[in-house]
């Protein structure tokens, strides 16, 4: 079976670009990705992102629904502990009908203190709220009347107003970066979203943890294994490195602590290509094809969630990179 490609849309930006211009760019990328053979679209979520702009996830998914032409649509990730799971369950059920049952719900804890503060949620409660929210949504998605004793979201004889099209609700994939969170993902999720920052060796080690925890919990293997990668496919290796290195390394320097690398300020950019190795898919078509094949063979990856646009990379180069990736991925099995 050929590898599956998912495009992670850039919904946050800085500068003078207007929301209509960003939406136009997103719609063009979706069309190009469809033509290139991508099978899914993925969106992230953040709150109080100012002074940067950020398009919110649920309304944007509704706007994209008629553009998908058979593609799946997914979140990677929604900040579940900060959300009301009853509202989210109803919104996700509605969206599942709008996209004809092709919805995936990717969720995670989030890590930014200012988001928790603004949403008036104690960060110390995030793990408990996270697990309870997943349980609440799954109970509501049955369509039956629900009573549920919960510290955070107690329910007393309530029934959801709309069941999802997918029986029992869409698959819930859990984003996790540290070992304890990977184990939690194995126990309470339908799958694990491997983070963008994890290098291939870390991903391999944690996949063993994830799979062993599923077995220990008496759960079946995940139906699909995805991995997040930043990706740029250039006409040549030199062009790819020239176009992508600056924007990518700058991005990771900005949240180096999230990358779990142990690097200090300025060291991400200083390491350059060494930091990029086994973490990014950046190169010409032959190089990226071979790297994806290596991930397939060593990790058993079914679907690549690919961020292909960053600040400092022109839109025409983003589109060309998407087209090239579609071509080279056809050789990955």
Per-residue model confidence as pLDDT tens digits over 10-65: 999 999 999 999 999 999 999 999 999 999 999 999 999 999 999 999 999 999 99
In tens, the pLDDT along 71-117 reads 999 999 999 999 999 999 999 999 999 999 999 999 999 999 999 99
Residue 45 has a pLDDT of: 97
Whole-number percent of the chain with pLDDT over 70: 92
Q: Model confidence over 135-171: pLDDT tens digits?
A: 999 999 999 999 999 999 999 999 999 999 999 999 9
Mean pLDDT of the region 242-271 = 60
Q: Given its phi and psi angles, is residue 145 left (phi above 0), alpha (psi -120 to 50 degrees) or beta? A: beta
Strand 53-54, strand 12-13: pairing: antiparallel
Residue 21 CA to residue 25 CA, distance in Å, equals 6
DSSP 8-state assignment for residue 220:
P
Alpha helices in 174-282 (DSSP H): 179-188, 200-216, 237-254, 267-271, 273-276
Cα maximum dimension of the chain: 62
Q: What integer pLDDT is reported at residue 258 of this predicted model?
A: 43
Give CA–CA dist 91/257, Å, rounded: 33
| Vertex 288 angle, CA 286 and 293, to 5° | 95
pTM score, two decimals? 0.93
Query: Taking the mean position of all CA atoms in its chain, how far away is CA 48?
Result: 19
Q: What is the pLDDT of residue 276?
A: 66
Q: Which of 90-104, 194-208, 258-272 is the least confident region? A: 258-272
d(CA 133, CA 32): 36
CA end-to-end span of the chain:
6
Q: Backbone phi, then psi, for 312, in 5-degree steps?
A: 100, -5
Answer yes or no: are the C-beta atoms of 90 and 58 closer than 8 Å: no
DSSP string, 285-298: HHHHHHHHHHHHHH
In which region does residue 70 sit, left (phi positive, over 0), alpha (psi from -120 to 50) or beta (all else)? left
Q: What is the DSSP string of 42-111?
A: EE---SS-TTSEE--HHHHHHHHGGG-TT-EEEES-EEGGGS-HHHHHHHHHHHHHHTTT-EEEEEE---
d(CA 270, CA 292): 26
pLDDT class of 244 with cuts at 50, 70, 90: confident
d(CA 52, CA 38): 28
| Predicted confidence (pLDDT) per residue in 5-15, tens digit | 999 999 999 99
At residue 295, the pLDDT reads 95
Per-residue confidence (pLDDT) for residue 265, from 0 to 100: 47
- Ramachandran angles phi, psi of 148, nearest 5°: -150, 120
- What is the arithmetic mean of pLDDT over 277-285? 88
User: Average pLDDT in the 297-319 region?
Assistant: 96
- pLDDT higher than 90, residue 216: yes
Note the pLDDT of residue 254. 62
Q: How far is the C-alpha of 159 from the C-alpha of 52, rounded, in Å?
A: 39
């Amino acid at each position: 079976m050929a590898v599956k490609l998912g495009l992670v849309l850039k919904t946050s930006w800085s500068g003078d670009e207007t929301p209509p211009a960003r939406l136009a760019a997103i719609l063009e990328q979706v069309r190009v990705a469809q033509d290139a053979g991508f099978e899914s679209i993925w969106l992230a979520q953040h709150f109080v992102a100012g002074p940067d702009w950020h398009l919110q996830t649920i309304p944007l998914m509704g706007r994209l629904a008629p553009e998908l032409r058979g593609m799946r649509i997914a979140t990677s990730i929604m900040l579940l502990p900060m959300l009301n799971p009853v509202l989210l369950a109803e919104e996700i059920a509605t969206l599942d009908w709008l996209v004809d049952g092709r919805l995936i719900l990717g969720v995670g804890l989030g890590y930014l203190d200012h988001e928790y503060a603004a949403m008036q949620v104690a960060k110390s409660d995030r793990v408990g709220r996270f697990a309870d929210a997943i349980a609440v949504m799954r109970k509501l998605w049955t369509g039956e009347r629900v009573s549920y004793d919960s510290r955070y979201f107690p329910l007393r004889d309530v029934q959801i107003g709309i069941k999802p099209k997918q029986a029992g609700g869409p698959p819930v994939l859990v984003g996790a970066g540290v070992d304890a969170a990977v184990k939690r993902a194995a126990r309470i999720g339908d799958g694990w979203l491997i983070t963008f920052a994890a290098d291939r060796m870390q991903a391999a080690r944690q996949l063993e943890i994830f799979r062993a925890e599923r077995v220990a919990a008496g759960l079946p293997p995940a139906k699909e294994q995805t991995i997040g990668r930043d990706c740029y496919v250039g006409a040549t290796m030199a062009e790819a490195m020239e176009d992508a290195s600056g924007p990518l390394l700058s991005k990771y320097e900005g949240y180096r602590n999230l990358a779990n690398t142990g690097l200090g300020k300025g060291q991400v950019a200083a390491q350059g290509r060494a930091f990029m190795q086994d973490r990014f898919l950046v190169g010409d078509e032959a190089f990226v094809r071979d790297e994806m094949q290596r991930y397939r063979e060593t990790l058993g990856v079914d679907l690549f969630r690919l961020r292909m646009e960053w600040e400092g990379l022109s839109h025409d180069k983003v589109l060309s990179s998407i087209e090239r990736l579609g071509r080279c991925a056809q050789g990955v099995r």
